[in-house]
Amino acid sequence: MPARQATELTGSARVAWLLFIIAAWMLVHQYQGLRHDAVMYSMQGLAHVHPEYWRHDVYLRFGSQDKFSAFAPLFARFIGWFGLEPAAALLTGIAQLAFFVAAWRLARLLLPERDALMGLFLLVALPGSYGSNDIFHLAENFITPRLLAEALVLAAILQWFKGRRVLAGGFVVAGLIVHPIMAASALALYLWLMLVQPRPRIALLLLAIALAALALVGLMTNGPPLRFDDFWYQVSPSSLAYLLIGHWDSPSWSMALVPLLVLMAGGALLDRQPARRLAQAGLGIGLAGIALTAFGGDLLHLTLIVQGQPWRCLWLSAVLAILLLPWIVRELWQRDDLGKAMVLVLLAEFILVSERYSVWLAPCCALLLALSVRARDRVPERQQRLALYGAMVLLAVAVTVMSSELLTTLRSAYFPHAHGSAPLWAKRVSEIMHNGLAALLVLLVFTWATRPRAARWSTPLVALLCAVGCCALIPLSCEDWTQVAFPPADKQMFASWRARIPADAEVLFPESPLFTWVLLERPSYLSGAQATSGLFSRPAAMFLYGRTEALRPYLRAIGQSIWDLDPKAPAPATPTLAMACAVGDLQFVVSRETLAAIPLEEVPPGAKSIYRGLKLYQCPGYSN
C-alpha cells in the first residue's frame, strides 16, 4: 500500500479507536473517592477552607508537603464552590483528561497515527505502576496533584520538541508549582537532552563533581537541616518503604526494570526522531534517579534527596515506554529471532511482575537485545531459533502461573486492585485487567479487526460494538464519579457527637482522619496519614513519635502499626480506654472496640457498615 494509506486511518477507524479507548477508560478508571493520598490532600484543602477548625491539627502544625505546593489552595477554591467530594471528583476528571490529551499529542508527534492510538490505549488500560509496593500509578483515580503535574510535564515536552521553548518553560514552572517532585523529571529530561546526549564527556565530569559534593556534604554533616540524624531516619523515612531503594523487593525492581528495558530497546533500534532521543533520555533519567536515590538517600541520608525522591523520574520513563511500546515491539519482532525472543521474555517478566523470581528475567532481556543489536551475524540461525523456542516455553509457563493465581483470586472474591463500591463483575474485570496481559490481548484483537486490509464491514461493526460497550458502561462510570462517601445525612447522624466535643478538642481515631475531620469537624489526634508530615519536618516526626510511643499498647491492640519499630512485639489481648487515655492531652476516643467503659455515644444499629460499631468515649478526668 502507499505510505499515506498505510499510516493514516479512515474516518470509521478513527471513530472505532476513539470509542474503544473511551470504553477502556470507563472500565479501568473507576473513580475511587477519598482514599490513598486523597486523604492527605483532602485534609490540606479543608484546612484552607476552614482554618479555624484544623489549623492546630498535628498534620499541619509543624508543616507538611502542603508548603511546597500551590495545589491545596486550588483544591480549597473548588471545595468552596462545589463541596469536598464533588470538587475532588471534578479535579480528578480534569487532570485525567489533561493527562491523556497531552499524552496523545506527544504520541502523535513521535509515532504514526495507528501506533500512537495503540500507545494511548495501553496508557489507559495498563496499570502503569512505578516505584515499590504497587503504590503509585499513572493516571490515578483519586484526587492528587501528581496527575496534573504529569500532564503539565508531557505538555512541556511536546512544546519543547515543537520549538516553543518559552511555552514549554511555562508548563514546567506550572508543574513545579503544582507538584515539584513530579515536575522535576522535566528538568532532568531537559538536562539529559541538552547536555548529556550532545556533550557526554562534560556531563560525566559534572556528574563526578556533583557526586563528590554530595559525598562531602554527607561526611561533614551529622544532622538537620542537610542530613537526617539516625533517629529521625529510623522513624520517618525507614517507615515509608517506597522512599528508599534499599527497601525495594524483587517485584518492585522488576516493575521498574520492564519500562527501562523497553526504552533500552527503543534507544538502540528506533530510527525515527525524536522518538529515539526520548527513549534514550527516558532510560537515562530513570537509571539516574534510581542511582541518585541510592547514593544520596540510602547511603548518605541527605534530607533533600530523600524528600525529593529522585526515583520518581520513573513515572516519565513509564509513560514514554508505554507510548513507544507498539513501535518498539514491531521493530524487535521484524528484526530477527533474537528480537522475537526478547519480546516474549519481556512479556513473561511483565505478567510475572508480582513474583520474586521475575527480576532475573531482566538480564535475559538485556542479553538478547545486545546479541540482536551487536552480534546477530555471529549467532548461528539455529541458536537464534533455540532462543526463540526457549522464550516461548518461558512465556507459556508465565501465562500458566498468572492464570492459576488469577483464578484463585477470582474464586475467593479477593480484589486488591478494584474499587470497593463497584459491582462484582466490574471488580472481576478490573482485577483481570490489572495484570496487563488481558489489555494486550484485547489490543491485538482490536488492531487486527480494524487493520487496513480488513473487510469493509469489519471496522464499522467494531465501532458499533464499541459504541454499545460505551453505552453499557455509562451508568457504572456515572455512579463511580458521582459517589459521595460522606453525605449530609451521615453528617447529621453525628450531630450529637459534635455537640459533646469542644471545637478545639482532638479526637483519636487512627483508622480514618477524614472521619474526624469531615463528620466530627474536629482535629485528629493521630493517624498513619498524618504521620507522613514527619518526613518533611523533624519536630513533627519527634512530636508524632512521642504520641505513638505513649499510645503503643493501644495501637497494637487495635491493629495499627504507626511507626512501630518493634512490630513483632506482643500486642495486648483487648484494648481499653485506659490504654488510649495514657497521654494526658487526649480528650476523646472513637473506637469500634468496646473499651471496658461506658461510651458517650454509639452509632445507631441501622447505620452503614462503615460506621457500624463506632463508639465515642471520653477520657477519665476530663470534663467539658
At 622, the pLDDT band (50, 70, 90 cuts) reads low
User: Confidence class of residue 1 from pLDDT cuts 50, 70 and 90?
Assistant: very low
Q: Cis omega (within 30 of 0) on the bond before 274?
A: yes
Q: How confident is the model at residue 115 (pLDDT cuts 50, 70, 90)?
A: very high
Residue position matching grid coordinates 461510651:
599
- Chain segment 235-247, per-residue pLDDT in tens: 887 777 788 888 8
Set of cell numbers at residue 429: 474485570
Compute CA distances 460 → 5, 444, 456, 468, 470, whole Å: 18, 18, 8, 12, 15
Q: Does the CA dihedral 157-158-159-165 come out positive or negative? A: positive
On whether the CB atoms of residues 226 and 281 are closer than 8 A, the answer is: no
Mean pLDDT over 243-263 rounds to 90
Listed residue (218, 326, 313) closest to 256, CA to CA: 313
CB 195 within 8 A of CB 202: yes
- Residue 172: pLDDT above 90? yes
Task: Calculate mean pLDDT across residues 101-116.
Answer: 94
Whether the upstream peptide bond of residue 225 has omega within 30° of 0, thus cis, is: yes
Beta strands 588-591; 507-508: pairing state: parallel
Instruction: Give the C-alpha separation, 441 to 395, whole Å.
Output: 14
Q: If you average pLDDT over residues 99-123, what whole number do you get? A: 94
Q: How far apart are CA 540 and CA 67, in angstroms?
A: 14
Q: How confident is the model at residue 624 (pLDDT cuts 50, 70, 90)?
A: low
- Residue 4, pLDDT > 60, answer no
Cell numbers linked to 57:
491539627
Report pLDDT for 5. 39
Q: What is the mean pLDDT of residues 472-493?
A: 90
Contact residues for 385 (Cβ-Cβ < 8 A; gap 6+)? 337
Confidence grade of residue 376 (pLDDT, cut at 50, 70, 90): confident
Strand order in the sheet with 601-602: 507-508, 588-591, 615-618, 601-602
How far apart CA 2 and CA 91 sit, in angstroms, is 44
For residues 162-168, average pLDDT: 93
Residue 19: pLDDT above 90?
Answer: yes
Q: Which H/E stretch holds residue 507? A: strand 507-508
**Domain boundaries, given as residue ranges, for the chain:** 488-618
Mean pLDDT of the chain: 89
Tell me the backbone φ, ψ of residue 617, rounded to 5 degrees: -120, 155
Q: How far apart are CA 441 and CA 338, in angstroms?
A: 22
Are 449 and 462 in contact by the 8 Å Cβ rule? The answer is: yes
Give the three cell numbers for residue 530: 498524618
pLDDT tens per residue, range 327-347:
999 999 999 899 999 999 999
Q: Where are the alpha helices (DSSP H) in 50-135?
A: 51-54, 58-61, 71-82, 84-110, 113-125
Let me know if 65 is exposed, middle or buried by CB neighbors in 10 A (0-12, 13-18, 19+). Answer: buried
Name the band, by pLDDT with cuts 50, 70 and 90, for residue 420.
low
pLDDT at 437: 86
Averaged pLDDT, 437-456 = 87
- Between 99-103, 397-401, 415-419, 426-430, the lowest mean confidence (pLDDT) is in 415-419
Contact 253, 360 (CB under 8 A): no
Which DSSP string corresponds to 580-601?
HTTSTT--EEEESS--SS--SE
Per-residue pLDDT averaged across 374-378, rounded?
A: 82
Helix, strand or coil for residue 508? strand
The pLDDT score that the predictor gives to residue 467 is 94
Four-point Cα dihedral 476, 481, 485, 487, nearest 10 = -100
Q: Which of residues 509 and 8 earns the better pLDDT score?
A: 509
The 8-class DSSP code of residue 155 comes to H
Pick from 128-137, 392-401, 417-426, 467-476: least confident: 417-426
- pLDDT for position 623: 57
Residues in CB range of 74: below 8 A, 6 or more apart = 91
C-alpha cell of residue 488: 449530609
- CA dist 175 to 141, 162, 180, 347, Å? 19, 19, 7, 33
- Residue 2 binned pLDDT confidence (cut-offs 50, 70, 90): very low
Phi, psi of 302, deg, nearest 5: -75, 135
Query: How many angstroms separate the CA atoms of 513 and 528, rounded?
Result: 9
Lowest mean pLDDT, pick from 1-15, 47-61, 162-176, 509-523: 1-15
Across 485-510, b (16+ Cβ under 10 Å) vs e yields bbeeebeebbeebeeebeeebbbbbb
Return the percentage of the chain with pLDDT > 70, whole number: 97
What does the pLDDT look like over 542-574, one tens digit per residue? Answer: 998 999 999 999 999 988 888 887 878 888 888
Instruction: Give the range among 44-58, 99-113, 475-489 with minimum mean pLDDT.
Output: 44-58
Task: Judge whether residue 6 has pLDDT over 50.
Answer: no
pLDDT band of 55, cuts 50, 70, 90: confident
Mean pLDDT over residues 593-611, rounded? Answer: 87
Instruction: Give mean pLDDT, residues 495-521.
Output: 90
Span 523-545, average pLDDT:
88
Sequential DSSP letters for 171-238: HHHHHHHH-HHHHHHHHHHHHIIIIITT-HHHHHHHHHHHHHHHHHHHHH--STTTB--HHHHHHTGG
**3-state DSSP helix/strand/coil % of the chain, to nearest 5:** 65, 5, 30
Could you tell me which of 305, 94, 285, 77 has the C-alpha nearest to residue 191? 285
Q: What is the pLDDT of residues 182-221, one digit of tens each?
A: 999 999 999 999 999 999 999 999 999 999 999 998 888 8
Q: How many beta carbons lie within 10 A of that of residue 511, not counting itself?
A: 15
Residue 591, strand partner residues: 615
